[in-house]
Amino acid sequence: MPNGRAARAYIALAIGVISISWSAIFVRWTHMPGIASAFYRLLFASMALWPFLLLSRTRLPRVSLSTFGLAVLAGTFFAGDVGLYNIAVLHTTAGSATFLANSSPLLVGLLTWGLTRRLPSRRFRMALAIALGGAFLIVAADARVLGSRPSADLAAVLSSVFFALYLMATERLRESCDTLTLLALSTTASAAVLLAFSSSARISLAVPNLSSLAALLGLALVCQLTGYFCLTYALGHLPATVTSLILLAVAPLTAVFAFLIFRERMTIIQLFGGGLVLFGVWTITRADWDRVPRSCAE
């Protein structure tokens, strides 16, 4: 049986998974460029976070310069993740984009190998080959069936790289920073990065209508605040590899939501490729699951 703290972490993670799974749906409903919807998602979320942070405490916690810098870096990584994912969702199926963007556990392993210089295990190399095979099938099917640009699938893959970096930075930050403070700092940094990019690239930030505004608020309140508050809380009590494993549920949930709402069907090849991606990620993270300390796993 999980102890009380671990049980709360798993419940929070489940709520976070369901909330984040709505991201692609809300992005489609905004009818805006992907970078623009990503900016408003993070802007509205930060606008809600700061008053709550200020009013919920008699005094703000002291944040060291190194913690502040790492929080800004985490926010930069997350801006890259959300911006690229939103672009992918608008140019390919929501399911394909989410399956491809969901390979962060493999990338966490690759980045860890790059930092430690330790040769990856045979299990890891096999899992990587399986996931890459699945990704190839998705990309090939998208190009043939949908006529989508390969750049859309590439954007989804790159978003997973940024999310892997975000997970690693957030896990490190949770050692010295509470959930609310971390989210306020990193979310504000993400919004600032996307605003600077939008300005330099001359991307319109105009909100077309009230329905688009409602979708942007859904992105901010449901996907960002609820989803990532729960995720950040869970990262303080569970390893990033375990969190990434449970986050695998985001991809199939997104595909189901897209089918129910947009009647967006995935071909057999796309589903098979997505299954290979998830199986490859599960294969490598299963080893980390088995090594979770008893205080977290039970």
Distance between CA atoms of residues 252 and 183, nearest Å: 26
To the nearest whole number, what is the mean pLDDT of the chain? 81
Per the document, the length of the chain is 298
Which of 129-138, 158-167, 217-226 is predicted with the least confidence, judged by mean pLDDT? Answer: 129-138
Which residue would you say has higher pLDDT here, 120 or 269?
A: 269
SS3 content of the chain, % helix, strand, coil (to 5): 80, 0, 20
Cβ-based neighbours of 289, under 8 Å, separated by 6 or more: 241, 242, 245, 297
Q: Is the pLDDT of residue 148 over 60?
A: no
Model confidence pLDDT, tens digit, residues 198-212: 999 999 999 999 999
Please tell me which residue, 170 or 212, carries the higher pLDDT value.
212
Which position has the higher pLDDT, 116 or 79? 79
The alpha-carbon radius of gyration of the chain (Å, integer) is 19
Q: Are 118 and 103 in contact (CB under 8 A)?
A: no
Q: Nearest-CA neighbor of 167 among 96, 219, 242?
A: 242
Task: Give the span between the Cα atoms of 203 and 266, in whole angstroms.
Answer: 30
Query: 232: part of which helix (H) or strand (E)?
Result: helix 228-235
Give the list of residues 6+ apart from residue 93 with CB closer than 8 angstroms, or none.
142, 146, 255, 258, 264, 266, 270
Give the whole-angstrom CA distance, residue 106 versus residue 115.
14
List pLDDT tens digits, range 239-284.
666 676 677 778 888 888 988 898 888 788 878 888 888 887 777 6
Alpha-carbon span 4 to 21, nearest angstrom: 26
pLDDT higher than 70, residue 143: no
Give tens-digit pLDDT for 32-61.
999 999 999 999 999 999 998 888 765 667
Q: Rounded to whole angstroms, how far apart are CA atoms 177 and 265? A: 42
**HSE (side-chain half, CA atoms, 13 Å) at 162:** 21
Note the pLDDT tens digit of each residue in 176-226. Answer: 788 788 888 999 999 999 999 999 999 999 999 999 999 999 999 999 999
**pTM score over 0.95:** no
